[in-house]
Amino acid sequence: MDFSYSSKVKELEERLQGFMDAYVYPNEKVYEQQLGDSADRWTAVPPIMEELKQKAQSEGLWNLFLPDSEFGAGLSNSEYAPLCELMGRSLMAPEVFNCNAPDTGNMEVLVRYGSEQQKEKWLNPLLEGRIRSCFSMTEPDVASSDATNVEARIEKDGNEYVINGRKWWSSGAGDPRCKVAIVMGKTDPDADRYEQQSMILVPLDSPGVKIERMLPVFGYDHAPHGHGEITFENVRVPKDHILLGEGKGFAIAQGRLGPGRIHHCMRLIGAAERALEELCIRVQKRTAFGKPLSSQGVIREWIADSRIEIEQARLLTLKAAYMMDTVGNKVAKAEIAMIKVVAPSMALKVIDRAIQALGAAGVSEDFPLAAQWANARTLRLADGPDEVHRAQIGRLELKKYQ
């Protein structure tokens, strides 16, 4: 039983925090400013982002998410956890360090399952941060919480696959640098339930790919990244664009989701820490009814509950990471499901208290709270809604007594 980080991790943590303090936090408003100034929020990337990316890369704070040491930093999940948490404190940070979703998940899929050719064409530019990617799985017409509901078709036709379907919440699709989508669809609707689906690489400039609209999250457009609704109409790609092989879609999705989920949770812990910090600073500055907000008992309870909930969520996330590292994602599935339920709800509660403590400022653009809240809210839905994870946890628990 040892709750301390290794010196390697501590050193990385310190450097990353230094970078956040020096370059990220001071540029959050700059990023927003540059984005707002551009004629169209979807055609240009704020220049500050590319500047910061270069700096992060030059300092070796790059691709830290990737456990593979040939392509990435080679950190285990539990080593990456405190670093990913730090990045989660700022919505713009993950991209600065080339650690943002869904590119991280897509890169990991390519590392694990991509052919040499696929790696050369898509993985390398992604690793270098030159292009972006999206992941097209969710569909507007079915309950996507049940992955077997997917209706998009991927049909072989000679040396090509033909893709038809409507996807939405393809996050990142709005970015002018976004060049490729990993699309999930059915190659064989008659196969076994978990072997009907495949994943395939689709260049976004393929004829028949149309971004119908960018979907807002609450009132945020999340430009230039964004969330695309995309139609694929008789889109043709060479047959070597398939990933791993026909019928492997579900298996790849399972492999992809473990790390994807835990990264989200790590970042949410960082977002909650930042919110608690904003709260604590603010309530010591403001006075109402004759005493500082910080000396009101009710606000101290908010702080205490927030600290407690953050600590517990972090420990459970670290435990899940430790299990992924030691016994594998499959055995750790209950723990992964648990943090996927815990972390978003925890973050929502902590951020909401901070909003309440800050008053109207909290719902505005002056603090990162409202935007972080909206982001956290989507994570009670993305990668499986809470209730699906809860059902799985319940099922696994019951099995112990059968």
- Show the tokens assigned to 1: 């039983």
181 binds its own copies (CB under 8 A): no
CB neighbourhood size of 14 (10 A):
10
- Closest distance of CB 294 from its own copies, Å: 6
- Closest distance of CB 216 from its own copies, Å: 5
Q: Which stretch binds its own copies (CB under 8 A): 59-67, 172-180, 230-238, 378-386?
A: 378-386
Using CB under 8 A as the binding rule, the residues of this chain from 217 to 236 that contact its own copies are: 217-221
39 binds its own copies (CB under 8 A): no
Count residues near its own copies (CB under 8 A).
97
Among 50, 68, 157, 365, binds its own copies (CB under 8 A): 365
- Show the tokens assigned to 225: 């990244």
Count CA atoms within 13 Å of residue 305 on its CB side. Answer: 15
168 binds its own copies (CB under 8 A): yes
For residue 266, which of 8, 14, 7, 13 has the smallest C-alpha distance? 13
203 binds its own copies (CB under 8 A): no
* Dihedral of the alpha carbons of 75, 79, 84, 87, in degrees to the nearest 10: -100
CB neighbourhood size of 291 (10 A):
9
Using CB under 8 A as the binding rule, the residues of this chain from 148 to 167 that contact its own copies are: 149
- Output 14 or 128, the one with its CB closest to its own copies: 14
Among 41, 156, 166, 319, binds its own copies (CB under 8 A): 319
Q: Which stretch binds its own copies (CB under 8 A): 25-33, 172-180, 214-222, 248-256?
A: 214-222
Do residues 46 and 223 lie in contact, with contact meaning Cβ atoms separated by under 8 Å? no
Using CB under 8 A as the binding rule, the residues of this chain from 243 to 282 that contact its own copies are: 276-277, 280-281
Preceding omega of 368 cis (within 30 degrees of 0): no
- Closest distance of CB 8 from its own copies, Å: 12
d(CA 10, CA 161): 48
Q: Which stretch binds its own copies (CB under 8 A): 94-102, 155-163, 194-202, 209-217?
A: 209-217
- Closest distance of CB 35 from its own copies, Å: 13
The residue type found at 84 is C
For residue 101, which of 267, 249, 243 has the smallest C-alpha distance? 267
Do residues 230 and 136 lie in contact, with contact meaning Cβ atoms separated by under 8 Å? yes
- Output 54 or 287, the one with its CB closest to its own copies: 287
3-class SS string, 251-269: HHHHHHHHHHHHHHHHHHH
30 binds its own copies (CB under 8 A): no
Among 11, 37, 157, 397, binds its own copies (CB under 8 A): 397
- Closest distance of CB 86 from its own copies, Å: 16
| Alpha-carbon distances, residue 288 vs 35, 82, 128, 162, 284 (angstroms) | 37, 37, 51, 64, 11
- Output 55 or 319, the one with its CB closest to its own copies: 319
| Alpha-carbon distances, residue 154 vs 138, 169, 207, 208, 246 (angstroms) | 15, 19, 15, 14, 9
d(CA 118, CA 107): 11
380 binds its own copies (CB under 8 A): yes
289 binds its own copies (CB under 8 A): yes
Look up residue 108 and give its DSSP letter: H
Which H/E stretch holds residue 185? strand 178-186
54 binds its own copies (CB under 8 A): no
Using CB under 8 A as the binding rule, the residues of this chain from 62 to 121 that contact its own copies are: 78-79
Among 100, 106, 144, 197, binds its own copies (CB under 8 A): 144
Among 62, 264, 373, 376, binds its own copies (CB under 8 A): 373
- Closest distance of CB 308 from its own copies, Å: 5
